[in-house]
Amino acid sequence: MSAELAALKDAVREIGKRHPDGQDRARRLYIQERASALAMQGDVEFKLKTEISTYFGIAYSDVFFAGSAQLGFSIHKDTIFSPQKSDLDVACINSFLFQQAWIDTIDASNAFNDGASFGSMTHTEIAAFKEAIFKRGMIKISNMPKSNLATRWGYFESSMTRKYASQFGSVNFAIYMNEYAFCRKQSASISAMFQK
């Protein structure tokens, strides 16, 4: 493990150990902290969040980041964030936007009865997408079934990836039902770092 990766992990653990409750820990690391990958690029972060909030018609304060761009390293890959290679995982936390995505998903897939609406996704991938909705209150735009709305949102996701290619490998969007759902998901992702 590189010294930089070890230092990033220690910094996250130092913050996290002051918050033994998983929800509080996730809120502190993902809601309050600025994105590590954009720490020295305040103008880029502001522009990104403004474009995203404007496009989706949500508040600027509803846009957050997750993954290695937020923490500075990937928990799952055990690697540091790498500009132009690592993804930017954007979290839009807004109940109305989530409801739009959920209604569109149910309509387009005939309540998950039309597997063909998901294109090339496998049954396992569709089941995981469905589980994320019902157990985590999260909808990844890239996994939504084919529809006019999903196509428009996918185009926006692709256009943001192209626009910010000098900073990120890709820009990906997930919509969360509320802050609790977002923090619960992030808490599950980082829990291994805080197990004794």
Q: Where are the alpha helices (DSSP H) in 57-192?
A: 67-71, 95-109, 123-136, 148-163, 179-190
Dist. CA 131–CA 126, nearest whole Å = 9
Dist. CA 120–CA 144, nearest whole Å = 12
Strands, sheet with 63-66, edge to edge from the N-terminal-most edge strand: 63-66, 88-93, 171-176, 138-140
Q: Are 71 and 36 contacting, i.e. CB atoms less than 8 angstroms apart?
A: yes
- Residue 126: burial class (beta carbons within 10 Å; 0-12, 13-18, 19+): middle
pLDDT digits (tens, 9 = 90+) for 22-45: 999 999 999 999 999 999 999 999
Dist. CA 70–CA 112, nearest whole Å = 32
pLDDT digits (tens, 9 = 90+) for 130-151: 999 999 999 999 999 999 999 9
Identify the residue whose tokens are 């997408």. 129
Tell me the mean pLDDT per 10 residues along the chain, length 196.
Answer: 90 92 95 94 96 98 97 93 96 98 98 97 97 97 98 98 97 98 95 76
Helix axes 123-136, 179-190, angle to 10 degrees: 120
